[in-house]
With several copies, the nearest count.
Chain A
Amino acid sequence: MKIRVQTENFDIATEIAALREGRPQIGAVASFIGVVRDLNEGDRVSTMTLEHYPGMTEKALAAIVEEAKRRWDIIDVTVIHRVGELKPQDQIVLVAVAGEHRGEAFAACEFIMDYLKTRAPFWKKERTPEGERWVEARESDDRAAERWQKGESK
């Protein structure tokens, strides 16, 4: 498991190559990149600042990945989340899940993103023409995370 919280950008090809290295049993890599959009709630975003809780963040992410490994037959996971000041079109987060088969890799990747969105201590502040504002938590993210608790077939 590789968990990183960093200000630097990341390269998905490099990360997937590292995740796959020396593991010829891997047949599937599902991945996700979250990106800063130029518009949010209808307002133009010029800067996005990511704050986190050093010390807790890595533990929270590791706990989410461990839970995914318990639920699905996957081989390994990389999670990278950036912090600090970002611009529209900058990459924010990478989740890459390697497994033997695609169904488990897809499910685990989406699960990790849904849990990260609701359980990992990151906060976004965006600057718009109206000034700075903290991004509000979305109910749709809570619902996405709750799906995984109801034993829904995915």
Chain B
Amino acid sequence: MVRLLFFARLREELGTAGEDIHLPEHVNTVKALRRHLMARGEAWKEALGPNKVLRVSVNHEMAQDDTPVRAGDEVAFFPPVTGG
């Protein structure tokens, strides 16, 4: 089980703040997870597509495409930050 979280514009576009999902064994990196979610349908493909500038964190640390994703992790997808 992996906890997914979505913030800001992404949360609105996907209509969800997050969920807990079981991932197939081959979905074990940030990049693979993003593709896995894009396969869910048009809204997901649009929101997570490669033309979208997104940030991803794994367990509260900023992650890259090749960052591993394992059972028990918390993975968050969000737009570039705009606080301050």
A binds B: yes
Q: Does A66 contact B (CB under 8 A)?
A: no
The answer to whether B57 touches A56 (Cβ under 8 A) is yes
Q: Tell me if A72 counts as interface (CB < 8 A to partner B).
A: no
Q: Which of B57, B74, B79, B83 contacts A52 (CB 8 A)?
A: B83
- Taking the nearest CB of chain A, how far is it from the CB of B81, in angstroms? 6
Nearest B residue to A121 by beta-carbon distance? B81
Whether A119 lies near B81 (C-beta < 8 A) is yes
Instruction: Tell me whether A123 and B79 are in contact in the complex, defined as CB-CB below 8 angstroms, given that A56-B60, A134-B9 are known contacts.
Output: yes
> Would A120 and B7 count as touching, CB distance under 8 A?
no
Minimal beta-carbon separation of A56 from chain B (angstroms): 4
**Digit string of B61-84 for contact with A (CB within 8 Å is 1, else 0)?**
010000000000010101111111
Contact of B83 with A50 in the complex, beta carbons under 8 Å: yes
Whether A123 contacts B8 in the complex (CB less than 8 A), given A56-B60, A60-B60, A137-B79, comes out as yes
B9 contacts which chain A residues (CB < 8 A)? 123, 134
- Asked if B83 contacts A134 (CB within 8 A), the reply is no
What mask results when residues 114 to 128 of chain A are scored 1 for a CB within 8 Å of chain B, else 0? 001111111111000
- Which one of B53, B62, B80, B82 has the highest number of Cβ atoms from chain A below 10 Å of its Cβ? B82
- B84 shortest CB reach to chain A, Å: 4
- Chain A residue numbers with a CB within 8 Å of B38 are none
Q: Which residue in B7, B62, B74, B80 is a CB contact (below 8 Å) of A137?
A: B80
Q: How far is the CB of B14 from chain A (nearest CB, A)?
A: 14
- Contact for B8 among A116, A134, A138, CB less than 8 A: A134
Closest to A133 in B: B9
Contact in complex: A53, B82 (CB < 8 Å): no
Contact of A123 among B5, B53, B74, B82 (CB under 8 A): B82
Which residues of the partner chain A approach B74 to less than 8 Å between Cβ atoms?
55
Q: How far is the CB of A28 from chain B (nearest CB, A)?
A: 10
- What CA separation (Å) do A40 and B69 show in the bound complex? 38
Do A53 and B76 touch (CB < 8 A)? yes
Listed in ascending order, the chain B residues whose CB lies under 8 Å from chain A are: 5, 7-9, 53, 57, 60, 62, 74, 76, 78-84
